[in-house]
Amino acid sequence: MKKIFRGFVLLVMILLLQLTVLPPNEALSNNSDIALTELNIKLMPEFINPEDWDYNIPSLLVGYHGTITNHSEAPYSGEIKISVPTKLPKFNAGFVAQFLNDEDAEPIEEDYTVNVEEGYISWIPQNPIESNESYHFVLEYFSAPIEGVVDRTFTFEFIADTNIDNVNIAVYAPYKAQNFTIDKESDLNSMTFGLEFHMYEHSDVKKGDLYDLTVSYKKEDIVTTMEALNDFSAPDDDAHAGFNQQGVQQQNDTFLNAENIIMISLSIIIVGAFVFIVLRKKNEPNSSVKENNVVPKKIVNKEEEIKKLRKMLTDGLIDEKIYKEKRAKLG
């Protein structure tokens, strides 16, 4: 198991060397000295649901991670404007944050504005981008473009608003997705914890270039990937049968203990996949106040109580530690 974990961390670090991230914008295209040099787009269907989301509707989490470089001789303190599909169903802006460098695991949130009519998110960095320095940031949003009940599909489109040196589009298959297919052949694909990963690499991208992907897969449950990763006790039920078959289940000293879950999360944070979770947990109320209300004193239906716990974890009402403790009490 430890070898599997080390392999996972190694894969993340390899990806880190390839990915530095974000999307183009009008403000950048009008200033040749301020250039978007690298852009990585992460597509994570059914990865995690935001707060107040209808749990029965599959969500798509999209992360724009990028690097803007100031080639001028003066600091840049102007506006950054990023095009986003605000007209998609249930569009929900997650956040905007700055990484102090491409290895930073604690991003600093930026105040931003969403222009729904014109379709963009804009903000002014808290600190000016110094001459010949780079600004690393992440922008994430949720939407509900996924169609179908069991046979699910969605289409993603990206149009470059400015010239970009390199653009990477990474697609993560959902937990327990079957027959996961994309209408274009990927440049890189891998398997992590039984989950598929596909990468599309583009260089010398010009303003107006269009990149689109249509993704389809079969999925019979609504368990999100983050919920499955957190449910490392792997209960013996139909919803988690595949998870057990992958060998990711609780043992006396399993590699998926609380410490390793944190390490996995931090590793993925480095490439931007878990930034939403980190920032959301900073704003959570004290979990100890809610602990007494997590599980009723008398358990009437074990499966129903497990579902409630998963829902509370997904909604951010409890953290992984409390979830593990309460899940263990259910037997």
Q: Is residue 253 predicted with pLDDT exceeding 50?
A: no
The residue count for the chain:
331
Residues of the chain with pLDDT > 70, as a percent, come to: 61
Q: Give, in order, the Cα–Cα distances in Å from 183 to each of 144, 188, 198, 212.
A: 20, 15, 12, 9
Band of residue 4 on the pLDDT scale cut at 50, 70, 90: very low
Lowest mean pLDDT of 71-80, 110-119, 168-177, 264-273, name the range. Answer: 264-273
What percent helix, strand, coil does the chain show, rounded to 5? Answer: 25, 30, 40
User: In terms of pLDDT, which residue wins out, 62 or 328?
Assistant: 62
Q: What is the pLDDT of residues 118-134, one digit of tens each?
A: 999 999 999 899 999 99
Q: What is the pLDDT of residues 161-206, one digit of tens each?
A: 999 999 999 999 998 899 999 999 999 988 765 678 899 999 999 9
pLDDT score recorded for residue 298: 36
Which pair of structure tokens corresponds to residue 290? 């809610």
Band of residue 158 on the pLDDT scale cut at 50, 70, 90: very high
The answer to whether the beta carbons of residues 93 and 56 sit under 8 Å apart is: no
Residues 6+ apart with CB under 8 A from 292: none
Question: Rounded to an integer, what distance in angstroms lies between the CA atom of residue 215 and that of residue 38?
Answer: 24
Question: Rounded to an integer, what distance in angstroms lies between the CA atom of residue 114 and that of residue 293?
Answer: 36
pLDDT score recorded for residue 321: 66
User: In terms of pLDDT, which residue wins out, 292 or 1?
Assistant: 1
The answer to whether the beta carbons of residues 148 and 218 sit under 8 Å apart is: no
Q: In terms of pTM, does the model score above 0.85?
A: no
Q: Which of 136-150, 188-202, 240-254 has the highest mean pLDDT?
A: 136-150
Mean pLDDT, the chain, integer: 74
